[in-house]
Amino acid sequence: MQDGHRMRTRTVHIGDRIIGGGNPVLIQSMTNTRTEDVKATVEQIHRLEKAGCEIIRCTVPTMDAALAINKIRKEISIPLVADIHFDYKMAVAAIENGADKIRINPGNIGGRKKVAEVVKAAKERSIPIRVGVNSGSLEKELVEKYGGVTAQGIVESALDKVGMIEELGYDNLVISIKSSDVMMCIKAHEILAEKTDYPLHVGITESGTLLSGNIKSGVGLGIILYQGIGDTVRVSLTGDPVEEIKSAKLILRTLGLRKGGIEVVSCPTCGRTKIDLIGLANQVERMVEDIPLDIKVAVMGCGVNGPGEAKEADIGIAGGIGEGLLIKKGKIIKKVPEEQLLSVLKEELLHWN
């Protein structure tokens, strides 16, 4: 993507959304409620939709969860992916209950015959299958062949599973290969992208809590997406899935793969800062979440970098001693007391033309 080029993959329809083929990279998340609890799951998905989630995945470990898929789908407006492990019957039931896509690891679903049952059901309804392989569940033979868990082994495992489904006469597929080892994950995506034109779902798995998960995902996804690889992303974080959406949006926007939303830039603060800039910057970030503008807002702590940095932004505030400046398109508009900075900025943003 160094020259704006994205790898051309084939297109796959997931409900009313399309991934691949140079279409925008779509953001996914996964619910962490019990899927059987329709009310709680729908409430969480509505929060995720509001945050900007474009595809949602729910786990289907039981028949009750498969039946719940039908009810959940009627209450939401984004495509629903059913996540299945070990039991092929759950995959078939999820498809019959209206899942827009299913995620399976054909290696743990119980042999070729059972995979064939799942493929048959998916074919009847033209439902895409995401073939997901994790480094943690790599087959023993591949671990032995490559002398450990390696990027080459992960790719071989994924393509082996894809080959099995192709032999069954189906190619409406998306591939995901995940590892919590960021560098291995990057390497595996580079190898896979050279060997296939199926759309890729990218993510760093089990990446951790808010801090470590965000850093690992930012580095890993940043490097993968910068190379033009990846058609849909999920940032995996241990926490509220809404945080995953915020992070994914920011990663895509930072890479120039997405427009929209207010970008807040703020200085790191230093001994010159005379106002509570840390508190102010956090308040500004929360305040702008729901304002649908595509602009840059600067929050600066002093007169050294403040006005200069704020020139780069569409609008900015810079703090002094108990007061601050409102700066618009590089021009100082007015000086206001510190406690009014936030409300003055909000007023400007709400009446932005």
Give the lowest-confidence range in 33-37, 229-233, 329-333: 329-333
**Shared domain check, 294 and 181:** no
Token couple for 165: 């489904």
Q: Judge whether residue 41 has pLDDT over 90.
A: yes
User: What is the model's pLDDT at position 2?
Assistant: 43
Which domain CATH number covers 188?
A: 3.20.20.20
Q: Judge whether residue 231 has pLDDT over 80.
A: yes
Looking at mean pLDDT, say which of 23-32, 202-211, 253-262, 277-286 comes out highest: 23-32
**Shared domain check, 211 and 169:** yes
Kindly report, residue by residue over 283-311, the tens digit of the pLDDT: 888 888 888 888 899 988 876 666 666 67
User: What is the model's pLDDT at position 331?
Assistant: 86
User: What is the model's pLDDT at position 311?
Assistant: 72
- Those residues whose C-beta lies under 8 Å from the C-beta of residue 120, and which sit 6 or more positions away, are none
Look at residue 1 and tell me if it is in a domain.
no
Who has greater pLDDT, 185 or 107? Answer: 185
Kindly report, residue by residue over 59-80, the tens digit of the pLDDT: 999 999 999 999 999 999 999 9
Which of 190, 221, 254 is the last residue in one of the domains?
Answer: 254
Who has greater pLDDT, 303 or 248? Answer: 248
**Shared domain check, 203 and 105:** yes
Look at residue 161 and tell me if it is in a domain.
yes
Which domain CATH number covers 324?
A: 3.30.413.10
Which of 254, 285, 303 is the last residue in one of the domains?
Answer: 254
**Shared domain check, 225 and 296:** no
**Shared domain check, 287 and 171:** no
Count other C-beta atoms under 10 Å from residue 343's C-beta.
11
Q: How far is CA 280 from CA 99, 150, 223, 340, in A?
A: 44, 45, 32, 11
Domain span at residue 36 reads: 12-254
User: What is the model's pLDDT at position 305?
Assistant: 63
Look at residue 305 and tell me if it is in a domain.
yes
Q: How much is the mean pLDDT over the chain?
A: 91
**Shared domain check, 185 and 283:** no
**Shared domain check, 171 and 76:** yes
Which of 220, 254, 288 is the last residue in one of the domains?
Answer: 254
Who has greater pLDDT, 269 or 255? Answer: 255
Q: How many separate domains does the chain show?
A: 2
**Shared domain check, 202 and 57:** yes
**Shared domain check, 69 and 39:** yes
**Shared domain check, 165 and 193:** yes
Q: Judge whether residue 323 has pLDDT over 90.
A: no
Kindly report, residue by residue over 119-151, the tens digit of the pLDDT: 999 999 999 999 989 888 888 999 999 999 999
Which of 233, 214, 220, 221 has the alpha carbon at shortest distance from 182? 220
Look at residue 6 and tell me if it is in a domain.
no
Q: Judge whether residue 242 has pLDDT over 80.
A: yes
User: What is the model's pLDDT at position 207?
Assistant: 62
Q: Judge whether residue 4 has pLDDT over 60.
A: no
What is the average pLDDT across 224-231? 96
Which of 280, 138, 315, 120 has the alpha carbon at shortest distance from 102? 120
CA–CA gap between residue 216 and residue 26 (Å, rounded): 19
Look at residue 7 and tell me if it is in a domain.
no
**Shared domain check, 188 and 40:** yes
**Shared domain check, 276 and 207:** no
| DSSP-based helix, strand, coil % in the chain, nearest 5 | 45, 20, 35
Look at residue 4 and tell me if it is in a domain.
no
33-42's contacts with Cβ under 8 Å and 24+ in sequence apart are: 34/65, 35/59, 35/60, 35/61, 35/65, 35/68, 35/69, 35/72, 36/62, 36/64, 36/65, 36/68, 37/68, 38/68, 38/71, 38/72, 38/75, 41/68, 41/72, 42/72, 42/75, 42/76
Look at residue 2 and tell me if it is in a domain.
no
Look at residue 184 and tell me if it is in a domain.
yes
Give the lowest-confidence range in 46-50, 107-111, 152-156: 107-111
Q: Judge whether residue 188 has pLDDT over 50.
A: yes
Kindly state the percentage of the chain with pLDDT values over 90: 63
